[in-house]
Amino acid sequence: MPDVVSLIHAKRDNTRPLTAAEISWLFAAYGSGEVADEQMAALLMAIYFIGLDAEELRAWTAEMIASGETLDLRKLNRPTVDKHSTGGVGDKVSLILAPLVASCGAAVPQLSGRGLGHTGGTLDKLESIPGWRASLSNEELIKVLSETGAVIAAAGAGLAPADRRLYALRDVTGTVESIPLIASSIMSKKIAEGTGALVLDVKTGSGAFMKDQERAITLARTMVALGVERGVRTRALVTRMDTPLGRAVGNALEVEEAVAALAGEGPEDLMEVTYALATHMLELVGIHADPSEAIASGRALATFNDMIRAQGGDPGAPLPTAKHTREALPAPAAGYITRLDALPVGVAAWRLGAGRARKEDDVSHTAGIRCLAKPGDYVEKNQPVLELHADDPVRFAPAVQALTGALTIDAEPPPEAPLVIDQVGA
């Protein structure tokens, strides 16, 4: 019979890998209370420093999946494909992508999360739509998916419940950044949701969780391997997140921009990422369709409206707006914007109320930032680059403080660089 202290020693001292049987025992013992939080925290810290090899990670992820239920989507009359993003500033791609790919003939079961820190959460954004519900039973989720082809909802409590406990522990013990633990956390939920194919958007750059490009590529490879091993056709795109994506950052502001994008009026950078992901999603499930035609024809927007209505929302209702706005970040000189750093913009939006510091915090649906100019645009001296939105004007000063050093102006425009850096997976 294993004991947890021996497992901690083995991993801490890197004397041998943990066996699948030991990992299975560990999860059962942790679930029953035989292994205490402080002991699991010690093991997580050892994993943070030593890592998990491929066999350990495979067993660890399998136990995360086995800790709860799995959805059975095989009765749907469409092929299933999902997308997951590691998060960024202004990343409202999921709001566009799920109905877009569904309007091309796939079923998109998008189980999403809430924002924490400077990156926004898909559910927080959609909850700015009057009446829209994030929490659906498994039966409701499959019903919406059958009727509209797309659903964006909170992962049910029964899907990979071990992940919630472990993530909470990682969050308070400084072990969130471990690549194998990130990979198992994401992929256990995606595999449990029952999708047949998955495209991952692994973001890298100043506004991303994975700021280092090589680590982002390693994470992408790790997640793709886990998906493929479990029979999920999986591919990853590594994309830039140095500049806010699109021109809106914040919940209702991003919904407004997503709806505009579905109507054919999306910013070029946002649509570049959206079309790249949509193309790969459709390719993985063998659907030959042009995503841009689905938007031009109005089908994608109609599917979005159907999805919102099916989840209790009113797609025609006005979105909430902030009580106060203020222009900010004046250009220090005339010239071309060559850098608008995503991280300070994300922190500023968070300070305006668009994000949360702790999972239990409330967010403001109206707070956020509009980018009046982006890299490549020419600005005059003192021209404001951002517009801040908040319900409480006292929030403006700390938001402006966060923007110090966020902007670079040069005499020449920046070189064009594609947002998709790399592709992982067949």
- pLDDT tens column, 362-372: 889 999 999 99
170 is catalytic: yes
Contacts of 61 (CB under 8 A, 6+ apart): 183, 184, 187, 188, 191, 226, 230
What's residue 119's pLDDT? 66
* Same domain, residue pair 112 and 260: yes
Which regions of 74-146 does DSSP assign to beta strands (E)?
81-85, 108-112
Look at residue 360 in the predicted model and tell me its pLDDT.
64
pTM for the complete prediction?
Answer: 0.95
Rounded distance, CA 370 to CA 249, Å? 6
- Contact assessment for residue 113 and residue 102, using Cβ atoms and an 8 Å cutoff: no
Same domain, 387 and 265: no
Q: What gap in Å lies between CA 219 and CA 222, rounded to an integer?
A: 5
Q: What is the DSSP string of 96-109?
A: HHHHHHHTTT-BEE
Q: Is 179 in the same domain as 205?
A: yes
Nearest C-alpha neighbor of 403 from the set 338, 365, 346: 346
Catalytic, out of 103, 185, 206, 364: 185
pLDDT reported for residue 355: 80
CATH code: domain of residue 331:
3.90.1170.30
> What's the pLDDT score for residue 159?
87
Catalytic residue, chosen from 11, 58, 83, 84, is 84
Q: Do 168 and 200 lie in a common domain? A: yes
Q: What's the pLDDT tens digit per position in 201-231?
A: 999 999 998 999 999 999 999 999 999 999 9
| Residue 280 to residue 102: CA distance in whole angstroms | 13
- Select which of 170, 190, 235, 365 is catalytic: 170
Residue type, 167: Y
For this structure, is 361 an active site residue?
no
* Amino acid 365: pLDDT: 95
Residue 72 in domain: no
What CATH number corresponds to the domain at position 196? 3.40.1030.10
Catalytic entry in 11, 189, 280, 326: 189
Instruction: For residue 394, give its domain range.
Output: 324-410
Count of structural domains within the chain = 3
Q: In the chain, which residues have pLDDT < 50? A: none
**What is the predicted pLDDT for the residue at 182?**
94
189 is known as an active-site residue: yes
- Same domain flag for 275 and 136: yes
In a domain, 99, yes or no: yes
Please report the pLDDT score of residue 356 as a whole number. Answer: 72
Do the bridges between strand 81-85 and strand 335-340 make them parallel or antiparallel, or are there none, so unpaired? Answer: unpaired
**Strand locations in 308-406 (E):** 324-330, 335-340, 368-371, 378-379, 384-390
Give the model's pLDDT for residue 230.
95
Q: Which segments within 103-158 are labelled E, that is strand?
A: 108-112, 150-154
Active site residue 206: no
Residues 302 and 331 in one domain: no
